[in-house]
Chain A
């Protein structure tokens, strides 16, 4: 067998045995063949002194860390995990947006009714001060006061239960986020 045949056969065997760093191993044997030839051996003699390529490759496989089969599985798992992120992220984003939308709506409602309540009160008081028919004044004040109470009440309800809802939503969102972290 000449050097080329030996090296090609060795390379095939190393691949079959799943040996790691095949090219480094090949370099090592090429160097040895060269050195032996420098000492006077012919190419075929140098190759023969190395032994059977199959035996050589199997020695490498026993002693050297072969490519682990499990790395293939691990890689697949990592890939799946990474792939879930494109699905997970948009979901989380939507939830976050919903969360903020609810806050904004709640805030607006509360503020609107609150403002309306104050405006009603001002109107009620103003009606008393502004000159005009007493009947009209009393009517306006009455409406103003009723409006004030109603808007105030709605505002109070919105604020109170809104806060409760906010609490629940925050907890749920946090749970989702941390549950995801745990799963990973």
Chain B
């Protein structure tokens, strides 16, 4: 997939995943990998960026003698996700237009 398109979509993927509840890094990686190719090195910058823009928060939980970082979506994150969704409805319409002509 085109990297630029992929980058935009992945942000929304992460937010959508967290919409249903908090998750830790590996969990997100596994779930999103079922629908789109994403590597550890791709996911981490996304998580950082979203956290810096206050779309999600993180907290560490003690687990089996180690710390596990959980991510949680914020109200701003939900707003951003809704914006993505609306924008892509417009994109989907255009794609449908192209698809019909092909």
Contact = CB atoms under 8 A, between A and B. Distances in A.
Contact of A32 (B40, B45, B48): B40
A34 to B, nearest CB: 6
Contacts of B26: 31-32, 35-36
Interface in B30-70: 39-42, 44-46, 48-49, 66-69
B68 A28 contact: no
A27 B69 contact: yes
Contact of B44 (A34, A35, A36, A60): A60
A59 B45 contact: yes
Nearest to B39: A51
A25 B44 contact: yes
Contact of B41 (A31, A35, A36, A60): A60
A31 B68 contact: yes
B8 interface: no
Interface residues of A, number: 20
Contacts of A29: 40
B37 to A, nearest CB: 13
A31 B25 contact: yes
A56 interface: yes
B66 to A, nearest CB: 6
B69 A31 contact: yes
B99 to A, nearest CB: 32
Nearest to A34: B66
Given A50-B40, A51-B40, A59-B39, 17 more contacts: A24-B48, A28-B69, A31-B67, A31-B68, A32-B26, A32-B29, A35-B25, A35-B26, A51-B41, A56-B40, A59-B41, A59-B42, A60-B44, A60-B45, A63-B49, A64-B48, A64-B49
25 contacts: A24-B48, A27-B67, A28-B44, A31-B24, A31-B26, A31-B66, A31-B67, A31-B68, A31-B69, A32-B25, A32-B26, A32-B29, A32-B40, A35-B25, A35-B26, A50-B40, A51-B39, A51-B40, A51-B41, A59-B39, A59-B45, A60-B45, A63-B45, A63-B46, A64-B48
